[in-house]
């Protein structure tokens, strides 16, 4: 089954409601930029490339609403859209990358009718969406040769079809390895506190009959020590100019453990996740999420009232712990600033 994480239907954006997976599968519609920003914030849609595609459509949907309006009204509606979307989540740089691209087209079409401008904005959103699937397939193609036949692959969070326009980044590598005939199996970390591994990665793998074993995050070290993990592949939300990578909280722990146990540790991500403006990981903003995600789940509370809680949603894995960065342009081993510049032809 091909998962359509987001789609454009009847002049609206539709998103699989990932908060309800795997128990229920349904789409929610976003009819304007504010609804789209709220959907990103509430994690209806999540995962860096999917957030970027969604933001682009969020601008497009707002432009459609004001197509035909006077130029001043159109421009101020779009300015508001850029602002609310940019404020939805802070870490995944794909959000800001997509908004910047939409801003460019908005600027280029300033002398056109608002109807024409709205059409150009929708065309770009469709292109960002369409390109993302091809990019994930290219990541998969470059990453698959790194996976040995019979490999037991650990992954963290969900960097799959649900986190992208389709195929996935880390799970794209896994899917492509499977498609190449390799008999692989996946160890999916549950990924506390939001359970993207248990709810989403496990669901994607079960849907496709890729053998998957679900473990809680604190089992990872034990499994590595027992030689039950051959390779680790994760995604990224933002990669700094020197190769430091922000990804779901717990990724850094895995990278440290992987070095200790000499297990290759790969980050799979598109170029749109690279933020050349962040010199290193310390410049990457880390989202702090609601304490309720840690003190309970879906209305069930297990922690005592009055306890103080920390809930950073991402951590930084230093480039030195990354065996290779798998992108649509190929794999760079031991990423550093000069190799990363090379990916952009600089
Ligand atoms: O908080 P989330 O679910 O948006 O975090 C997602 C991740 O950390 C993913 O690993 C990352 O965005 C890569 S998705 C291809």
For the stretch 181-237, pLDDT in tens is 999 999 999 999 999 999 999 999 999 999 999 999 999 999 999 999 999 999 999
Range 37-49 average pLDDT = 98
289-295: Cβ within 8 A, 24+ apart: 289/194, 289/313, 293/193, 293/194, 294/193
For the stretch 272-288, pLDDT in tens is 999 999 999 999 999 99
Among 17, 159, 255, 267, which is best to mutate for testing ligand 1, by the most ligand atoms less than 8 A from CB? 159
pLDDT for 1 equals 59
Is 196 near ligand 1, meaning CB less than 6 Å away? Answer: yes
For the stretch 67-84, pLDDT in tens is 999 999 999 999 999 999
Rounded Cα–Cα distance for residues 49 and 30 (Å):
18
Biggest CA pair distance of the chain: 66
The full set of domain ranges for the chain reads 6-137, 145-343
Measure 46 CA to ligand 1 centroid, in angstroms.
6
Is 242 near ligand 1, meaning CB less than 6 Å away? Answer: no
Residue having the nearest C-alpha atom to atom 6 of ligand 1: 47
Q: Which of 256, 245, 163, 254 is nearest to 217 (CA)?
A: 254
Is 6 near ligand 1, meaning CB less than 6 Å away? Answer: no
Among 16, 43, 46, which is best to mutate for testing ligand 1, by the most ligand atoms less than 8 A from CB? 46
Among 17, 41, 48, which is best to mutate for testing ligand 1, by the most ligand atoms less than 8 A from CB? 48
pLDDT for 346 equals 86
The answer to whether the 6-137 and 145-343 domains have the same CATH topology is no
6-137 has CATH 3.40.250.10 classification: no
| 203-204-210-216 Cα dihedral, nearest 10 degrees | -50
From the CA of 313, give the closest atom in ligand 1.
1
Structural tokens at position 329: 């342009």
On average, the pLDDT of the chain sits at 97
Is residue 239 within 8 Å of 274, Cβ to Cβ? yes
Rounded Cα–Cα distance for residues 135 and 185 (Å):
24
Angle of helix 93-108 relative to helix 71-86, nearest 10 degrees, comes to 170
Q: Which of 46, 67, 164, 72 is nearest to 121 (CA)?
A: 67
Range 96-116 average pLDDT = 98
Is 135 near ligand 1, meaning CB less than 6 Å away? Answer: no
C-alpha separations of 96 from 93, 142, 216, 303 in Å: 5, 26, 32, 35
Q: Which residues are annotated as catalytic?
A: 237
Measure 249 CA to ligand 1 centroid, in angstroms.
10
**Fold category of 145-343 in CATH:** Rossmann fold (3.40.50)
Q: Where are the beta strands (DSSP E) in 34-184?
A: 152-155
Length of the chain equals 346
Is residue 195 within 8 Å of 289, Cβ to Cβ? no
For the stretch 156-168, pLDDT in tens is 999 999 999 999 9
Measure 299 CA to ligand 1 centroid, in angstroms.
23
pLDDT higher than threshold 70 for residue 345:
yes
Is 165 near ligand 1, meaning CB less than 6 Å away? Answer: no
For the stretch 311-324, pLDDT in tens is 999 999 999 999 99
């Amino acid at each position: 089954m091909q998962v359509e994480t987001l789609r454009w239907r009847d002049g609206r954006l539709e998103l699989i409601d990932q908060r309800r997976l795997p128990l229920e599968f349904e789409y929610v519609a976003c009819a304007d930029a504010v609804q789209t920003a709220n959907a990103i914030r509430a994690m209806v849609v999540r995962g860096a490339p999917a957030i970027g595609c969604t933001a682009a459509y969020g601008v497009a949907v707002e432009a459609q609403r004001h197509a035909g309006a006077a130029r001043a009204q159109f421009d101020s509606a779009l300015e508001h859209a850029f602002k609310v979307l940019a404020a939805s989540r802070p870490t995944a740089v794909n959000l800001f990358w997509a908004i910047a691209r939409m801003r460019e087209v908005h600027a280029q079409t300033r002398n056109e009718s608002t109807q024409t401008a709205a059409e150009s904005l929708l065309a770009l959103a469709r292109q960002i969406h369409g390109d993302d699937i091809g990019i994930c397939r290219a990541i998969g193609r470059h990453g698959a040769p790194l996976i040995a036949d019979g490999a037991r692959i650990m992954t963290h969070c969900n960097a799959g079809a649900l986190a992208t326009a389709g195929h996935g980044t880390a799970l794209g590598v896994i899917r492509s390895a499977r498609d190449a005939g390799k008999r692989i199996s996946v160890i999916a970390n549950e990924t506390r506190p939001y359970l993207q591994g248990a709810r989403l990665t496990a669901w994607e793998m079960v849907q496709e009959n890729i053998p998957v074993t679900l473990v809680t995050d604190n089992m990872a070290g034990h499994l590595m020590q027992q030689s039950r993990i051959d390779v680790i592949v994760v995604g990224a939300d933002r990669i700094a100019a020197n190769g430091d990578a922000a990804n779901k909280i717990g990724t850094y722990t895995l990278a440290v453990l992987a070095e200790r146990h000499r297990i290759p540790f790969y980050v799979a991500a598109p170029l749109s996740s690279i933020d050349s403006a962040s010199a290193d990981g310390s410049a990457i903003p880390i989202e702090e999420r609601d304490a309720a995600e840690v003190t309970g789940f879906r209305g069930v509370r297990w922690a005592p009232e009055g306890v103080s809680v920390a809930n950073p949603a991402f951590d930084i894995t230093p480039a030195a712990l990354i065996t290779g960065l798998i992108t649509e342009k190929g794999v760079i081993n031991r990423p550093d600033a000069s190799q990363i510049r090379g990916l952009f032809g600089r």
